[in-house]
Amino acid sequence: MRDTAIAELDGHRGKLGATASARPRPPLLRATHVIAGVIAVLMIVASVLGLAVHGLYHDDAWGKQALLGGDLVSLAVAAPILIAALVLSIRGSVRARVVVIGMLAYTLYDYAYYTFGATFNDVFLLHIALFSLSVFGLACAIASVDADAVRERLRTRAARWVGGMLAVVGVLQGALWIFVITRFAVNGELLHDIPVAGQHLVFAIDLALLVPSLVLSGVLLFRDHPMGYVLGTAMAVMGAVYQLNLMIAGVYQAHANVPGTTAFPPESIGLTAAFVAAALAMLWPRRAQTRG
């Protein structure tokens, strides 16, 4: 009798376990996966067209070369990372879900420039779609994430260092742009060798989106807050990929002899390395933790 009862109980447990594993993903997480998949496809299409269609971009040399460099990085680096993270996220990886958030932050920030900064071109609608989908995909991704589970999986002694780095970069970036804008208000002087329209857009997007995100995520991560592990890791991933974007854009600009541009400036290499190190420090699997 006792053996029969135990067998029946084990059978019920097995059914319950199977039901739990087969349970559908929450609606917001499903929405995140669908939106991220659409973004990956559109990013590949827009990047291929940008690189393959001669004369697609009608901007000045500085802007055109920056857009082409961005297309190359989005096609060769950003899209593969997003696709890989999306596949692993669908399989249940906590780390991958944070990487998806970071890549959605990348596409939102990057395609803000294509949407609001580039002149009219034949893929303008694709750029608008990518920007809009990134906004809503990021909202769904952040709302669906379990911050406590992320902190449990990613907790590391390096978190305070990464958080501090993000906050410092954000503060310094914001202080520099505020200084330039204030100086312009006083004597009309802006940065040299960069089109005024380009500076206007960079200052607006960075001070409205990038700087607050870096500072907030850095402070939360430094204070060991669960959302700090989500946002801080995501911003480290976003920063690493976008710094590469900026470096490749600089290569394109230097090759086109755009005044004031340099391929692989030391400060850009250093900042890219810092973001890559920060992302790896947060995402590298810990020996004592389960696979995630």
Where in the sequence is the domain holding 136, given as residue range(s)?
26-283
Can you tell me which residue has the tokens 């390395």? Answer: 273
CA nearest neighbour of 104 among 184, 34, 192, 25: 34
Three-state secondary-structure class, residue 266: helix
Is 226 inside a domain boundary?
yes
What confidence score (pLDDT) does residue 24 get? Answer: 54
Q: What is the pLDDT of residue 25?
A: 67
Assigned domain for 252 exists: yes
Residue 87 lies in a domain: yes
Spatial contact of 61 and 252, defined as CB atoms under 8 Å apart: no
Dihedral sign, Cα of residue 34, residue 36, residue 41, residue 45? positive
Residue 4 forms part of a structural domain:
no
Backbone angles phi, psi at 36, to 5 degrees: -65, -40
- Residue 215 included in any domain: yes
Q: Are 215 and 174 in contact (CB under 8 A)?
A: yes
Q: What is the pLDDT of residue 284?
A: 92
Residue 21 maps to a domain: no
> Is 290 inside a domain boundary?
no
Number of domains in the chain: 1
- In sequence order, which residues have a C-beta less than 8 Å from that of residue 113 and are 6 or more positions away? 66, 67, 70, 201, 205
Q: What is the pLDDT of residue 13?
A: 43
Contacts of 90 (CB under 8 A, 6+ apart): 25, 33
pLDDT by position in tens, the chain (length 292): 445 444 444 444 444 344 333 445 689 999 999 999 999 999 999 999 999 999 999 999 999 999 999 999 999 999 999 999 999 999 999 999 999 999 999 999 999 999 999 999 999 999 999 999 999 999 999 999 999 999 999 999 999 999 999 999 999 999 999 999 999 999 888 887 777 778 899 999 999 999 999 999 999 999 999 999 999 999 999 999 999 999 999 999 999 999 888 889 999 999 999 999 999 999 998 764 444 4
pLDDT for position 10: 46
Domain membership flag for residue 6: no
